[in-house]
């Protein structure tokens, strides 16, 4: 049957889309219904301070797969062009991916759901199953998918289809000898929200007060022209109902997959991971969206913190951990956890946190600092302070996270904090100087938050690589 060795387990890597770390019941949100996520958390490790590498989908996903920061792998905004057809662009061409490494080590890999890194209609090497979203976002009904290389339109609710595809894959793999690696990448709870989810889930929130999403006046930098942003401000309650329903519907699907793994006797030999690509503001800070919910882009914790759950009974003991961990730590951690050598030819920015999962180590050997970037916006965050630098001229930000955890007061310019901001600025500059590839340094590109149109090359003009206008609203099919 599928992998039965706890030291070389199967991997079920579930990735949601635009889910804030706050959007789980186990994280203290009494409004939301997430029994399956709570079940993973109760039996494993839940990180409360896990950060994406960039608060938008494609760069963050590319970092999980490459172990590199956006200013090295070159995916610097969400992929807007080059997804399918003759104009397809493989944005990760020539870069060894995590799945490439584990496939060579004997894992049978599958991708079910969102890819959004270009060339969605060409299965990646080492994959025995490829069921990828044709672009990266669409309505939840009549979604365009690629089944191996064949385009298909999925009439039914996409979350249910992805779940059923995962169940079929796990059933088939249970009869084989090799371990499997299943990337189950839901499109939930990404926009669209209104009139987009089954009533059995939206009805659960009919009387919800949504106290977990306090609504504030629009942020001074709040972006306009984006359908999710505009609709969130204009139709607040309907958007919240849809967002929460999308999470709960996904949670139900995850529960079905967990049940199947348990029924097949694979729970003890399967590492279950649940994460999101980036955070999300649903009215938090007066923003609807993530990093590109504002212009210039933002680095609030609600944008950069993501849920992160890890479960493998018998190997991972239940715990809640507040260690500062980042998406660039995932690549080395999973190879370390699986006992597979890292083929890196240059120093990685991330460090393995395997010991935090397996034996409850203190994490004292880790740097208590994380970094983030979104184009010309860069962040360094310790437990006590966050410094945000916007190249070239600001506005820059400094937040005292001990006394101001909600990031309300910008301390830049305060005489008593000048030494802190200067030290953090120096640390930020030194870290990026070590890990960027000058060709792909986001600081040199006109990254706007409106999407990436092509690969950055030595000859490319950044003004032609990044879009400067928002995408039109998605057409949501009418449902009876």
Mean pLDDT of 180-192: 98
Answer yes or no: do 390 and 448 share one domain. yes
Q: Is the pLDDT of residue 240 over 50?
A: yes
422/428 Cα distance (integer angstroms):
10
Residue 9's nearest CA partner among 252, 275, 299, 357 is 357
447/374 Cα distance (integer angstroms):
8
> pLDDT confidence of 320, banded at 50, 70, 90?
very high
Last residue in a domain, options 293, 326, 356 = 356
Q: What is the dihedral of CA 249, 250, 251, 252, to 10 degrees?
A: 60
In a domain, 361, yes or no: no
343/105 Cα distance (integer angstroms):
12
15/306 Cα distance (integer angstroms):
10
Q: Is the pLDDT of residue 118 over 50?
A: yes
- Residue 197 has a pLDDT of 98
Last residue in a domain, options 324, 356, 388 = 356
Q: Is the pLDDT of residue 215 over 90?
A: no
377/373 Cα distance (integer angstroms):
6
Answer yes or no: do 77 and 134 share one domain. yes
Answer yes or no: do 401 and 259 share one domain. no
pTM of the predicted structure, to 2 decimals: 0.96
SS3 per residue for 220-277: CCECCCCHHHHHHHHCHHHHHHHHHHHHHHHHHHHHHHHHHHHHCCCHHHEEEEEEEC
Answer yes or no: do 196 and 254 share one domain. yes
Number of domains present in the structure of the chain = 2
Q: Write down the mean pLDDT value for the chain.
A: 94
Answer yes or no: do 139 and 249 share one domain. yes
- Residue 461 has a pLDDT of 65
31-69: per-residue pLDDT in tens? 999 999 999 999 999 999 999 999 999 999 999 999 999
> pLDDT confidence of 345, banded at 50, 70, 90?
confident
243-266: per-residue pLDDT in tens? 999 999 999 999 999 999 999 999
Answer yes or no: do 309 and 334 share one domain. yes
- Residue 61 has a pLDDT of 98
In a domain, 474, yes or no: no
Answer yes or no: do 95 and 189 share one domain. yes
CATH number at residue 459: 3.30.1120.10
68-100: per-residue pLDDT in tens? 999 999 999 999 999 999 999 999 999 999 999
In a domain, 202, yes or no: yes
Mean pLDDT of 116-131: 97
- Residue 480 has a pLDDT of 45
CATH number at residue 304: 3.40.720.10
363-414: per-residue pLDDT in tens? 565 668 999 999 999 999 999 999 999 999 899 999 999 999 999 999 999 9
Phi and psi angles of residue 251, each rounded to the nearest 5 degrees, phi first: -60, -40
Answer yes or no: do 20 and 60 share one domain. yes
In a domain, 363, yes or no: no
341/331 Cα distance (integer angstroms):
11
20/262 Cα distance (integer angstroms):
28
The CA–CA distances, whole Å, from 10 to 177, 220, 346, 463 equal 11, 47, 28, 43
Answer yes or no: do 317 and 381 share one domain. no
Last residue in a domain, options 356, 384, 414 = 356
Mean pLDDT of 204-221: 93
HSE-CB for 476 with a 13 A CA cutoff: 16
Rounded percentage of the chain residues whose pLDDT exceeds 90: 85
For helices 330-338 and 57-66, the axis angle rounded to 10 degrees is 30
Answer yes or no: do 65 and 104 share one domain. yes
The CA–CA distances, whole Å, from 147 to 110, 240, 361 equal 12, 32, 43
Answer yes or no: do 56 and 146 share one domain. yes
In a domain, 473, yes or no: no
Residue 307's nearest CA partner among 49, 131, 100 is 49
Q: For residue 219, give both structure tokens.
A: 């942020």
DSSP secondary structure string for all residues of 353-379: -HHHHHS----TTS-SEEEEEETTEEE
By residue range, what is the domain housing residue 450?
Answer: 369-465
In a domain, 345, yes or no: yes
- DSSP for residue 467: -
> pLDDT confidence of 327, banded at 50, 70, 90?
very high
68/86 Cα distance (integer angstroms):
28
In a domain, 237, yes or no: yes
C-beta of residue 374 within 8 angstroms of C-beta of residue 63: no
Residue 20's nearest CA partner among 44, 42, 52 is 52
69/76 Cα distance (integer angstroms):
9
Residue 29's nearest CA partner among 190, 208, 193 is 208
In a domain, 476, yes or no: no
Buried b (16+ CB within 10 A) or exposed e, 154-191: beebbbbbbbebbbebbeebbeeeebbbbbbbbbbbbb
Mean pLDDT of 415-432: 97
Q: For residue 299, give both structure tokens.
A: 């680095």
Residue 2's nearest CA partner among 265, 192, 184 is 265
Answer yes or no: do 345 and 420 share one domain. no
> pLDDT confidence of 444, banded at 50, 70, 90?
low
Buried b (16+ CB within 10 A) or exposed e, 225-255: ebebbbbbbeebeebbbbbbbbbbbbbbbbb
- Residue 245 has a pLDDT of 98
Q: Is the pLDDT of residue 463 over 60?
A: yes
């Amino acid at each position: 049957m599928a992998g039965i060795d706890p030291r070389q387990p199967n991997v079920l890597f579930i990735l949601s889309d635009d889910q804030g770390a706050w959007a789980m019941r186990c994280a203290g949100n009494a409004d939301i219904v997430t029994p399956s996520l709570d079940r993973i958390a109760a039996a494993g490790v839940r990180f409360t301070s896990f950060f994406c590498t960039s608060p938008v989908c494609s760069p963050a996903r590319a970092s999980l797969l490459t172990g590199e920061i956006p200013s090295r792998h070159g995916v610097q905004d969400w992929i807007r062009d080059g997804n399918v057809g003759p104009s397809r662009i493989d944005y990760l061409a020539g870069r060894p991916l995590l799945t490439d490494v584990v496939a060579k080590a004997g894992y049978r890999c599958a991708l079910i759901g969102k890819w959004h890194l270009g060339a969605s209609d060409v299965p990646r090497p080492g994959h025995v199953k490829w069921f990828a979203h044709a672009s990266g976002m669409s309505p939840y009904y009549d979604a365009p998918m690629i089944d191996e290389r064949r385009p298909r339109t999925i009439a039914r609710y996409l979350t249910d289809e992805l779940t059923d595809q995962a169940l079929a894959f796990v059933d088939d793999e249970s009869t084989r000898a090799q371990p499997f690696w299943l990337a189950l990448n839901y499109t939930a709870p990404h926009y669209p929200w209104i009139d987009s989810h089954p009533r059995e889930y939206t009805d659960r929130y009919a009387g919800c007060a949504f106290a977990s999403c306090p609504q504030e006046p629009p942020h001074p930098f709040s972006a306009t022209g984006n359908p999710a942003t505009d609709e969130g401000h204009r139709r607040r309650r309907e958007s919240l109902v849809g967002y929460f329903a999308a999470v709960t519907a996904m949670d139900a699907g995850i529960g079905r997959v967990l049940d199947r793994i348990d029924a097949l006797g694979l729970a003890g030999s399967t590492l279950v991971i649940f994460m999101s690509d980036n955070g999300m503001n649903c009215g938090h800070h007066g923003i609807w969206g993530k990093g590109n919910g504002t212009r210039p882009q933002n680095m609030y914790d609600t944008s950069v913190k993501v849920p992160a759950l890890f479960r493998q009974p018998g190997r991972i003991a239940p715990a809640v951990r507040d260690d500062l961990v980042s998406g660039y730590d995932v690549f080395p951690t999973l190879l370390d956890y699986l006992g597979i050598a890292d083929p890196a030819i240059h120093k990685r920015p991330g460090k393995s946190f395997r010991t935090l999962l397996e034996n409850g180590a203190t994490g004292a050997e880790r740097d208590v600092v994380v970094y983030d970037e979104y184009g010309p916006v860069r962040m360094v965050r310790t437990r006590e302070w966050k410094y945000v630098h916007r190249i070239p001229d600001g506005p820059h930000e400094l937040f005292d996270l001990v006394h101001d955890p909600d990031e309300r007061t910008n301390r830049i310019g305060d005489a008593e904090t000048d030494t802190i901001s200067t030290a953090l600025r120096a640390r930020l500059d030194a870290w990026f100087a070590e890990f960027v590839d000058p060709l792909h340094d986001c600081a040199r590109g006109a990254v706007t938050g409106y999407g990436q149109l092509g690969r950055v090359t030595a000859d490319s003009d950044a003004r032609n690589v990044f879009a400067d206008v928002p995408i039109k609203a998605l057409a949501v099919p009418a449902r009876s």
